[in-house]
Chains A and B, each alone.
Chain A
Amino acid sequence: MENKSEQVTVGPSGKPELRLSRVFDAPKRLVFEAWMKPEYVQRWFSPAPLTVPSCELDARVGGAFRVVMRAPDGTEFPMDGKFTEIVPESRIAWDAQIHDGLAVQTTVDFTEHEGKTTLDVHQIYAFENEATKGAHRGWTLTLNQLGEHLRSRT
């Protein structure tokens, strides 16, 4: 396991985007299985100490991908999604609503190299009160870096 890169940016529409990659020491056949079987998803799809008491996963385009995460104090964080693309052992994409009134589009790409699998995650977040419309030129701003820079002066 290693972190290849991680970046938080704002996309051309003014929506925040997240991109990150991670390499897993397993063939993509197994990594894909860990994504597509609810009993496996329940074991990993939440940061500790959260748990996943329920996962509904209908592995086809238009199928449901609903995950409920639960905090130790009982607070639940549901993700209510629908798959938009499934290419076996290669790509999974879904659109979801998550707990704080956010719509999130997620794409996960699987690539295998010498028995190791790289997952590339790309997410686009949209607030439900989203007011940003209109086309802008394509660009990327690494807000993280700017944030770091600013932290040093406040």
Chain B
Amino acid sequence: MPQSEHLDATFAALSDPTRRAIIARLALGDANVSELAEPFAMSQPAISKHLKVLERAGLISRSREAQARPCHLEAKRLREATEWMERYRRFWDASFDRLDALLIEMKQKDKEKDRGK
């Protein structure tokens, strides 16, 4: 899967509040479906549906061995998304440093023009 599709899947998966809460919970440690369903007024099948979306997006993995199939957060994919966005923030930070320098020059010219009047 190309990176843009990864990211697309990641952001789409994170667009749901329940799924974000699941991610936040798994950031604290692995958990199985019933443990994850507990804080929500939701049935286990409903939670399972969300887990499938997260799993497809590569944000979580589930053990095939243990019967409880605990969910594990795949931090790599989430990090990929935050790093991707970080690039665009850096674009503005660095460009604005240059704009800052240009404005100093423009202000100077402006003053000179005023004096010339």
Q: A residues near B, CB below 8 A?
A: 1, 3, 6, 8, 10, 12-16, 18, 20, 22, 24-26, 30-31, 33-34, 40, 43-48, 100-102, 119, 121, 123, 125, 127-132, 136-137, 139, 141, 143-144, 146-147, 149-151, 153-154
Contact = CB atoms under 8 A, between A and B. Distances in A.
Contact of B14 (A14, A44, A45): A14
Nearest to B99: A44
A151 B15 contact: no
**Chain B interface, >50% SS class:** helix
B7 interface: yes
Interface stretch (B32-40, B62-70, B76-84): B76-84
Give the interface residue-count category, chain B. 35 or more
Contacts of B79: 147, 150-151, 154
A151 B106 CA distance: 42
B14 A127 contact: no
A40 to B, nearest CB: 6
Nearest to A18: B88
A123 B4 CA distance: 17
Given A12-B15, A30-B110, A44-B102, A130 B8 contact: yes
A14 B86 CA distance: 17
Nearest to A48: B94
Contact of B75 (A22, A129, A144, A150): A150
Interface string B1-41: 00011011101111111001001100100000000000000
